[in-house]
Amino acid sequence: MTQRIRVLIVDDQTLVREGFRKLLELEPNFEVVETAANGEAALAAAERLYAAGTPPDVILMDIRMPHMDGIAATKILKERWPGAHIVILTTFDDVELTLTPSSTKSPASATNYTSSSSTSTTYIDASAYVEQLTEREREILALVAQGASNRQVAERLYVTEGTVKNQNWG
């Protein structure tokens, strides 16, 4: 038996976080060890996992989050644990944030993001996983894939935004 890949999922949208959790839990080679709703919570989760000697193998990190965004959290994570493997989650419009130097990154780190992302891109055929989702989950996944926010998903599904953020759609 091979060792499972331990994943920490970081995204401020409950729907997205739980969607990734469900998709990864369908794959026997992955184990979601913890989730976090922002960069600060991600740092706390990583601290607990590293202190316990069970660090995540991969951190899936959203860029835009309240309290501390994914770029700032990634910078701190890489300073504390240089070997951490972090995959940035973003919509197409956010790609510029990872490639453009800002107050939270230096030009060198922008080049590092660019070069590492261009050489380590992995594509996964998710069709088999999508087939295992309920009709409602597929509908939500399609909206999220189109870049819909919690508010937009709520409007399309005729529920409140709070329901979208807190609902376990499974």
pLDDT in tens, 122-167: 444 555 666 677 777 777 777 776 677 878 888 988 888 877 766 6
For each of the domains in the chain, give its residue range(s) and CATH number, in order of start. Answer: 5-125 (3.40.50.2300), 133-170 (1.10.10.10)
Check residue 67 and report its DSSP letter.
Answer: S
Residues near 103 by beta carbon (within 8 Å), at least 6 away in sequence? none
pLDDT in tens, 60-87: 998 888 889 888 999 999 999 998 999 8
Whether the predicted model's global pTM rises above the 0.95 cut? no
What residues pair up with 5 in beta bridges, in sequence order?
Answer: 30
Is there a contact between 70 and 88 (Cβ–Cβ < 8 Å)? Answer: yes
The first and second tokens of residue 48, run together, are 């607990």
